[in-house]
Structure formats: C-alpha cells, structure tokens
Chains A and B, each alone.
Chain A
Amino acid sequence: MDKPVNQGAWLLVLPVLLIVAFSAILPLMTVVNYSVQDTFGNNQFFWNGIGWYQELLDPSTDLGGRFFDALWRNLLFSLLILLIEVPLGIAVALSMPRHGWRVAATLVVLALPLLIPWNVVGTIWQIFAREDIGLLGWAVNRLGIPYNYTADPLSAWVTIVTMDVWHWTSLVALLCYAGLRSIPDAFYQAARIDGASRWAVFRNIQLPKMHRVLLIAVLLRFMDSFMIYTEPFVVTGGGPGNSTTFVSIDLVKLALGQFDLGKAAALSIVYNLIILAVCWVFYTVMTRMDAQRN
C-alpha cells in the first residue's frame, strides 16, 4: 500500500542517519584503513595494500590456515545448533498449552533463558559443567563417562552446543508458538473429523502455518550463532587448544592478544562480508519461497 509522498519525511530520518554514520560507518572506515597497513607500534603505519587479504584467503599461510579452521568450526557449530534447536523448538511449541493460565506460566518459563545476559550464561555453564565443583560435570563423570571440557575437545564442543541449545531453543519455540496460535480452532476440528493422524495435522496444517516464522527463526539463529563470541570465550576461551576457537574469538586474539591490527582488520572485513553475503542469500531464498507459495 503506497501512501501520499511527503518529502518532509526525510528530515525525520536524518538523526538516525547521523547516528549510524558516527557509530558504524566511521569505525568501519577506520577498520578498512587499518586493513591495508602494517604497524609495529609507536603509532607508525606502513602501507601494505591488499597483502593481509591475500594472506588471509590463502589457506597455506599461517593466518589463512587459522582463519579457515575457525570458519569451518563456525559453520559446523551453526549447523549443529540449527539441527537441534529447530526441531526441538517446534516440539516444545507443539506441546505447549493453548488455553488457560498455563499459557502464561509456560511463556514466562520459556522466556527466562532469553533474559539472562550472555556472559552470565557462559559463567553459569562454566561452573555447572566443571568436573570438580560443577553439578553436571561431576554427575557425568560419576556415571563413568569421561568428561572434561578444559582438556577434551569433544567435551568442550558438547558443552558449548548444549549451552546454546539451553539458551536459545526458547526463541525458536516462542516464534513457532506464535505461528501456531494463528491457526483457527476450526482447522483442528475439521482435521479430527477428516480422521487426520497427529502427523497429518502437523504436516498439513501446523507446518504450513509455521513456515514463515520458522524461516525467521532459522535466519535469526544462524546469524546469531555464526557471530558467537561471548559464551565460548567465557567457558572455554577457545580451547582446549584451538578446538573451540571461532572466527570472532580468533579476531580478538589477533587484535588484542597479538596486537596485529592490520591482520585483524582484514579478518573483520572479510568476516563482515561473509555475514552480509549469507544474509543476502537467506533473504533471497526466503522471498523466493514466499513468492512461489502465493
């Protein structure tokens, strides 16, 4: 629906444009500036052209190797949590009550993990999963399963994946629940009369109605998990070894640990571009699918 055109509207957008310019565009230009130079401290900079970028995108170099290893870890992590959180979120949404006081109660319980600050979530799990004083770590070990996230890469992965699932499945569930709520009762009644099985109801009524919110949920969870930093930083610090070092963690190590500002700048630019590209792909696919369905 188009509205009457009013050029005065641009004035209203101006403050936002200014804020974005100062908070995002200027720092971004600074990063671009760093990424084409080298420094050895003392505020002395040397022109390096696209040198950092070449090194970064060549897996045989030290920098490139690190980058690609971290990138694959990121992708694996996103894939894993999507595979768990989406079906689990749907399952939770489906089993939620639809009427009465229990609706409000369930919503509150589900919202709780979403309200906890990310570093607190990390801290909780860091303690919870410790083999000496953490309830989870201690219990698992007592069951005879060797588990130590500070020494064993598999344990570390299990910990951060479980943590992410604990933290974010609620979001998927809440989104799906909103989709389910939009289905009129008549649909369920008609399906009962048609003799539809539970699966047929899910497949033909619930899933089609959740389709849009599910795409949004997948997009949100993918983007968010792809940029994950705080929780693994708090829990594992990227270890043991480099087994949980994601691109964002590596970036911080480069910039603040080694003070390789040029490399870090180039890495963050590339990282940004990848995220933008993935976003664009998602957006196109989503709108295409929507157009096809109508």
Chain B
Amino acid sequence: MARIDLQSLGHSYTPNPKSDDDYALKPMTHVWEQGGAYALLGPSGCGKTTLLNIISGLLTPSEGRVLFDGKDVTALPTEARNIAQVFQFPVVYDTMTVYENLAFPLRNRGLRGAPLDARVREIAGLLDLTADLNRRGRNLTADAKQKISLGRGLVRPDVAAILFDEPLTVIDPHLKWELRSKLKALHRALDLTMIYVTHDQTEALTFADKVVVMHDGRVVQVGRPQELFERPAHVFVGHFIGSPGMNVLPAEVSGRAARVGGHVIALRRGFPALNGGAKIEIGVRPEFATLAPAGAGGVPVRVRRLDDLGRTRIARVELSGLPMAATVPEDLTLAGDEASLLLDPAMVHVYADGTLVEGEAA
C-alpha cells in the first residue's frame, strides 16, 4: 500500500540551476494515490524517465522530497523502498529457470520453503507462466521475458507500487494488446499503484485511469483520458494526444465567435476581450471536425488528400489556406475537392499563448 507524494520536487543535472532551462525536471508537487493506474506521457527528453528514476530511488532529486505514505524516502536507496520496476528491455537472469527468476527477489529477502513455493506458483499462475516454470530464461520470447520481469515485482508481497519504463517497446503489436489487458487485469486484482512511463499515447491512455502529460520538464496536464481528449489544457496536449493531433488555427475571438481567415466559427462559450497581446488560437480535434458535401453548411474547405486508416478515413483539408485534418463519415463520397466542414461548437477550444482559456458558460 502506498500513496506517493512529490513535494516541490525538482531535478537538475547541473549543480546550481539558475534558469528554468537548467532543470531536467522543473519543481513540481504531485500526489500518486494508492491503487491508482497512472501513465506518465511525453516525448523523449521531457523528463519523464528522470521523474520515474527519482520515484524508484535510482536517482536522488536535487530539490524537494518524496514521501511514501507520509514517510520521507528521498534519501533511501531503491532496495529500501517497496517498489518494483519493469524496464524497456526485459531483464531476465539468463542462467536461472523461470521459477528461479520469480523466486529470486523472495530468496534475497530470506523467504524459503513452502511459502516461497506457493507465492511463486501463485504469481506464475496470474501471469500464465505456469507451463514455462522449468524453462531457462534465455530461451523465451520477448513478451514472456517481460512477464517474468513483471513477475519478479509482483511476487514480493511488500510491493506497493510498480513502475514501468516503456515496457512494451520490444513487443509485437498483436502481443501488446494481450500484455496490456493482462496489466489492466492485474491492476484490478492486486490493488497496486502502477506508474507507466511511455511516449505512446495509445499505451498511456488505454492503461491509465489518470494520465500525467509532460513537456519540457514540466507537467502540462493531469487528467482522465477523456479529459485529455476532449479538453486539452495546452495545445501541446492537443497535438501530442490523438492521431492526427488537434488542429490549431490562429484566430480572432470575440464573444461566441472565432474568426479564421474570414470565416466565422461558432463557440459554445463566450470570450470577452481576449487580446492582451497574447497569441490567440482555436483548437479542434479531427474527430470533432466532420466533412460534409459542399454547401451543407459549416465552413468551406478544399480537400487535399484522403487517408484510409481502415476503421476511419481522415481528410487533409485547407481552411483559408490553413492545413487541417478532418474525419470523413463512412457513407460520404466526395465529388471534386470542394467540401464543407462541420465543427462541434462544444469541442472548439480557445487558447491564449498555448494555454486553454475557460470562457464563460452558456
């Protein structure tokens, strides 16, 4: 059991950080609730691995504190914290069998005999590894090896949190599904805090109850997948989550209308006087921008390309010369490159200097 508190936590690899740029992880305060499934999402170099290593104790932060259930563990080494970690590349002790691999952390903690055997078999059962218990680690496939890495964490009854560092990088797509659903099921069965670091939005969103999006050493949004999708707090979140990402267009906003290149786009909320020198943009996801035949209302666009993604079709269009992506409904057939774009007013957001502006409710 553990609730993990990060208090004014920051890390800099240079001794005396002066400006924000010197921080790999800019000072932040955050709480990881006991039993939560979290994802830490961001591009490479955004500081997510630094943060993970601080939580696991592989790295000591240059400022701030880490608390496990209220107890300060900032200075404690990894082995003294109740955490387990699964790495990008599976770590399996080659010379041991699967059974010995799973038993290893328990033996190291002095457990022997029947309790050890029972625990190892229980965890092997949970991970569908029972049939492989007597095989040597080195001869297994990447996904089985990754399950063993995970199993060595799960097997410890004292473990309160499991950290994952891009654990599915070396796994084939069709097995990723399997492993991910296994992880979900384990999370529900075992009541553990899980923190999953990845740059892959699908992995983050499908795994986590709460996603922490990081950019440039800073947390830009924390939220449920739906919130990140429907109300990105920052244009970066809009861009990074979703494929393709959110359309961001420079606009003039006043009242309940946004003006983009001579066209008026309706907004759900009202925005009085936004021009304080800030860069004003509107953001709308391709999923909420639907293509319709020309003349069907909405704003006129020019279709540049159609991408067939299998279960959806995405059109690359231009709105007054600005490139956008839009969804093509299943039954729509386009004649020529003229079309009309229908935007869901509730899903058109306004950003000032990249940050979401709330507006006034209807």
Contacts and interface: CB of A to CB of B under 8 A. Distances in A.
Chains A and B touch each other in the complex, with CB atoms below 8 Å apart: yes
Interface of A: 184, 186-187, 189-190, 192-197, 200, 204-205, 208, 293-294
Contacts of A192: 58, 77-79
B85 A190 contact: yes
A190 B78 CA distance: 10
Given A194-B104, A195-B109, A196-B104, A189 B94 contact: no
B78 A189 contact: yes
A205 B94 CA distance: 8
Chain B, interface SS category: mixed
A101 to B, nearest CB: 17
Contacts of B88: 186
A187 B91 contact: yes
Contacts of A197: 108
Most chain-A Cβ atoms within 10 A of its Cβ — which of B93, B109, B138?
B93
Contacts of A194: 104-105, 108, 152
B14 interface: no
A151 B211 CA distance: 80
25 contacts: A186-B87, A186-B89, A186-B91, A189-B58, A189-B87, A190-B85, A190-B149, A190-B152, A192-B79, A193-B78, A193-B83, A193-B105, A194-B104, A194-B105, A194-B108, A194-B152, A195-B108, A200-B104, A200-B108, A204-B95, A204-B104, A205-B93, A208-B95, A293-B138, A294-B138
Contacts of A195: 79, 105, 108-109
Contacts of B84: 193
B294 interface: no
B153 interface: yes
Interface of B: 56, 58, 77-79, 83-85, 87-89, 91, 93-96, 104-105, 108-109, 138, 149, 152-153
A196 B85 contact: no
B89 A184 contact: yes
Contacts of A184: 89
Contacts of B89: 184, 186
A236 B94 CA distance: 47
Contacts, number: 51
A200 B101 CA distance: 12
Top 10 nearest A-B pairs (CB, nearest first) are A195-B108, A190-B91, A186-B87, A194-B105, A204-B93, A192-B78, A208-B95, A195-B79, A192-B79, A186-B91
A193 B153 contact: yes
B94 A193 contact: no
A193 B79 contact: yes
Most chain-B Cβ atoms within 10 A of its Cβ — which of A195, A196, A197, A208?
A195
Contacts of A196: 104, 108
Contacts of A186: 87-89, 91
A189 B163 CA distance: 12
A200 B109 CA distance: 12
Contacts of A208: 93-95
Contacts of B152: 190, 194
A197 B104 CA distance: 11
A177 B68 CA distance: 38
Nearest to B56: A193
Nearest to B149: A190
B110 to A, nearest CB: 9
B85 A189 contact: yes
A266 to B, nearest CB: 47
A184 B94 CA distance: 14
Contacts of B95: 204, 208
Nearest to B96: A204
B109 to A, nearest CB: 5
Given A190-B85, A190-B87, A208-B93, 20 more contacts: A186-B88, A187-B91, A189-B58, A189-B87, A190-B149, A190-B152, A192-B79, A193-B79, A193-B83, A194-B105, A194-B108, A194-B152, A195-B79, A195-B109, A196-B108, A200-B104, A200-B108, A204-B96, A204-B104, A208-B94
